[in-house]
Structure formats: C-alpha cells, structure tokens
Chains A and B, each alone.
Chain A
C-alpha cells in the first residue's frame, strides 16, 4: 500500500500544474473555436461534434501534461500553498472568460 501511495505521490504536483494549465486552455479554446469557423468545423469533423472534440482534447491534454510534468524537476519546486491559490484563481478566471465571452455574444 505504501509503495503504491509513493508511486502515485510523484504525480500529484504534476497533475496540479496540469489542472492549472488545462483549465485556462479550456477557456481559451472556447474563444478560439467560437471566433474561428474553420477551427470549429475541423473540431466538428474530427469526432462528429465540436463539443466532443473539445472534451477529448482537454482530457488528453490534462492526462498528457500531468504525466510529462510529473517527470520533470518543475514539480519539485511547486509550493502547495501557491498551487492552491493558482487552482482557485485559474478556475475563477476561466469561468469569467467563458461567461464573459458568451455574455457579449447573446
């Protein structure tokens, strides 16, 4: 049990950073696809629906970035307190980006 916990523990900071980056990326991808018809059309063709592609891209990025960052020394310097503030801030900011974007496009 302890060995499993130890092997999983090394991924915690990597996925924290990944969460921060991908949350922001999610909001920016909304603006990008809604502002660029070619991108939205490509996303629609890729899986049959732009929203499905959006979800697949976000989830693959979250997992891939989490795994990659877990194996770099960036995560060793991660301050959990700063990470908490960053997670809260990025989630709130990306929420404002998405709501703000659609509010101006009603």
Chain B
C-alpha cells in the first residue's frame, strides 16, 4: 500500500506540476502590473510540485520498481521498460532542470518590459507542459506493461 501510495502521489504531483506550467504560461501570455506577483508564486509552485513528483517517483523507482521491472521484462511488452521507462527516468531530469530554472527566469526578468525574456519564460513553461504530458503518457505505458506481464503470467 505504501508503494502504491507513493506511486500515485508521484503521478498526482506531476499532473499538478503540468497544471502549474499551464498557469504560468497563461499568466505570462497576459502579463501586466496586476499579475506579476502571481506569476512569481505560480512559477515557484510549479518548481516545488515538480520537485515533489521527482522525489516521490525517484524513491519509488529505487525502492519498489524492481519486481515490476522483472514482470515487464518477462511479459509480452518488455519494451515498456527497455524503452519507455529508460527514456522516462532520464528525460525527467530535463523537466526537473526546466522546473528549477522557471522561477529564476521569472523572478529575475521584467517580463512586462522585456519581450525576449517573456518569450523565454513562455518557452520554458511550454516545454514543462509538453515534457510533463509525455511523462504521464510514458507512465501509462509502463503501467500497462506490468498489467500485460501479469495477465500473461
């Protein structure tokens, strides 16, 4: 139950991190004097949510993934681990770096006056959403890989 709780929390915080990225993107798209503070708070929240998802997912991966990995590799969908999990666990670092960078870029630039800085933050937030959605999809394939392995066994 602990393992399942950690895994589901990883997914939930990941989804919230994606929503945070969308929130930052939408706010920055319409940046004005009244929402500048909200953009800072949203970017910090996004970074924290991605970090929590990383720590939970990382702990689950290191402590509990072994048996699932064996089931996947012995089942009809071994590529759910060999490709999807391997890619997911390494591309997540890009997401983590982008999430950490987001509040730095937001806080240290005047997004209202500097169009290039605004586009930089939009680009980073967009990448967070895009990669985050990819991670969710990859996670679904990995879960299906376990299910296929169990059904075949």
Contact = CB atoms under 8 A, between A and B. Distances in A.
A12 B90 CA distance: 25
Contact of B104 (A11, A58, A59, A98): A11
28 contacts: A8-B104, A11-B104, A16-B105, A19-B98, A19-B101, A26-B90, A51-B62, A51-B89, A52-B58, A52-B62, A54-B93, A58-B97, A62-B97, A62-B100, A80-B119, A80-B120, A81-B119, A84-B116, A87-B124, A88-B123, A91-B94, A91-B127, A91-B131, A95-B94, A98-B90, A98-B91, A105-B82, A106-B79
Contacts of B105: 12, 15-16
B108 to A, nearest CB: 4
A102 interface: yes
Contacts, number: 95
Contacts of A99: 83, 87, 91
A9 B108 contact: yes
Contacts of B9: none
Nearest to A26: B93
Tell me the dominant secondary structure on chain B's binding face.
Answer: helix
A49 B62 contact: yes
A43 interface: no
Interface residues of B, number: 33
B96 interface: yes
Nearest to A13: B108
